[in-house]
């Protein structure tokens, strides 16, 4: 482990996070254009992905370090979750390390500066013109105080504000830390929400910038629920899914001192489950639809497992925290 990585892991988790974002943001200021690592190139949502390894949502919630993160070599970087209005998230402590499991538990609760602040950041990135070929995803959420019946309006506000900066949007209905959010993954509420969002995307597309749409799903779904979600995503002409978000299950970390902390578990304990969910969606979705696999990818072997399960591209978060920037190159090179 390099000294910076050791230092970060010695700090309390949120302090380390703020320090990492500040450092990555500073790294972005260095001059020159920024390109992804060369890897197994593929087409992705109407664009070319230089390598299939992306940064998952939640690390750069406010798009403060896009250039520095892109410098790490990712094929794509997803920012957010961003909500229409700024909100503080849950009280601290809300992020816990379980190093024995190379895992994290978080209940951040969509702490973010709001969509207007993100638009200003992304505007700087785009006008700067230094981001060459790294694709940029924007992950959208709803404010905690917005009732589920009005959730679609929050996602639409996000799209309207940010569509000119995003290569794709992720509609996030799977955070376990916004009360009731995951209920929107099912039945009539899902159908209505996806339909309304798609309608707005088509209207934006007719004006020249309707970014593709992915739905981010939880790992805590039955086979039947996966099939129902796949049916709606297809019917509403979404472009694909991101599987998965963090899990509520504690089976794999039972007995750990933080195991009973509320929130979502990520990292190594999730690999098997995220591979299963990716495989279930691959089975249930038309071949043409994109699947981004995420959850517990911490080596080239894990990456290959998720690709074999049917993912078209990958994202990482927790392994980036534990292993630092070198994990990006390790994975890209191992699956070239």
Complex with ligand FMN: residue 130 or 264, whichever CB lies closer: 264
> Residue 47's beta-bridge partner residues?
44
The first and second tokens of residue 74, run together, are 């990712």
* CB closest to ligand FMN, residue no: 58
Compute the least distance from the CB of residue 273 to ligand FMN, in Å.
10
Compute the least distance from the CB of residue 321 to ligand FMN, in Å.
7
Query: Closest Cα to residue 169, out of 261, 292, 295?
Result: 292
Compute the least distance from the CB of residue 95 to ligand FMN, in Å.
5
Complex with ligand FMN: residue 175 or 228, whichever CB lies closer: 175
Long-range contacts of 279-285 (CB under 8 A, 24+ apart): 279/309, 279/310, 280/223, 280/226, 280/227, 281/217, 281/226, 281/230, 281/241, 281/243, 281/310, 282/309, 282/310, 282/311, 283/310, 284/226, 284/227, 284/230, 284/231, 285/230, 285/233, 285/234, 285/240, 285/241
Complex with ligand FMN: residue 106 or 134, whichever CB lies closer: 106
Catalytic residue, chosen from 174, 175, 298, 319, is: 175
Complex with ligand FMN: residue 87 or 172, whichever CB lies closer: 172
Compute the least distance from the CB of residue 207 to ligand FMN, in Å.
27
Does the annotation mark 175 as catalytic?
Answer: yes
Complex with ligand FMN: residue 35 or 304, whichever CB lies closer: 304
Distance linking the first and last C-alpha atoms of the chain: 24
Q: What is the DSSP string of 137-195?
A: EEEE---TTS-GGGHHHHHHHHHHHHTTT-SEEEEE---TTSTTGGGGGSHHHHHHHHH
Residues that bind ligand FMN (CB under 6 A): 56-58, 61, 81, 95, 104, 106, 108, 110, 139, 172, 175, 216, 245-246, 266-267, 270, 294-297, 316-319
Instruction: Determine the 3-state secondary structure of 69 from DSSP.
Output: helix
Compute the least distance from the CB of residue 296 to ligand FMN, in Å.
5
Task: State the catalytic residues.
Answer: 175
């Amino acid at each position: 482990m390099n000294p910076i990585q050791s230092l970060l892991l010695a700090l309390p988790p949120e302090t380390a996070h703020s320090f990492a974002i500040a450092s990555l943001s500073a790294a972005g200021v260095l001059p020159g254009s920024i390109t992804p690592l060369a890897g197994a190139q593929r087409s992705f949502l109407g664009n070319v992905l230089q390598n299939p390894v992306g940064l998952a949502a939640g690390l750069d919630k406010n798009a403060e370090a896009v250039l520095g993160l892109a410098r790490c070599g990712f094929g794509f970087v997803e920012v957010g979750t961003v909500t229409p209005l700024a909100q503080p998230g849950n009280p601290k402590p809300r992020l816990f390390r379980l190093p024995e499991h190379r895992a994290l538990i978080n209940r951040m609760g969509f702490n973010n500066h709001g969509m207007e602040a993100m638009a200003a950041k992304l505007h700087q990135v785009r006008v700067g013109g230094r981001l060459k070929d790294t694709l940029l995803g924007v992950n959208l959420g709803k404010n905690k105080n917005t009732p589920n019946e009005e959730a679609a309006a929050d996602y639409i506000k996000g799209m309207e504000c940010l569509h000119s900066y995003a290569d794709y949007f992720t509609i996030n209905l799977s955070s376990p830390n916004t009360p009731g959010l995951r209920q929107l993954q099912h039945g009539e509420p899902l159908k209505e929400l996806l339909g309304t969002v798609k309608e707005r995307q088509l209207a934006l597309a007719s004006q020249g910038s309707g970014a593709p749409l992915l739905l981010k799903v939880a790992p805590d779904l039955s086979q039947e629920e996966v099939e129902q979600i796949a049916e709606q995503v297809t019917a509403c002409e979404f472009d694909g899914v991101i599987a998965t978000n963090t899990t509520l299950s504690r089976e794999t970390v039972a007995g750990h001192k933080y195991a009973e902390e509320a929130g979502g578990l990520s990292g190594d304990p999730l690999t098997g489950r995220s591979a299963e969910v990716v495989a279930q969606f691959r089975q249930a979705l038309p071949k043409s639809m994109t699947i981004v696999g995420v959850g517990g990818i911490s080596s080239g072997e894990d990456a290959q497992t998720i690709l074999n399960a049917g993912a078209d591209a990958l994202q990482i978060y927790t392994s980036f925290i534990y292993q630092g920037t070198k994990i990006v190159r390790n994975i890209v090179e191992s699956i070239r």
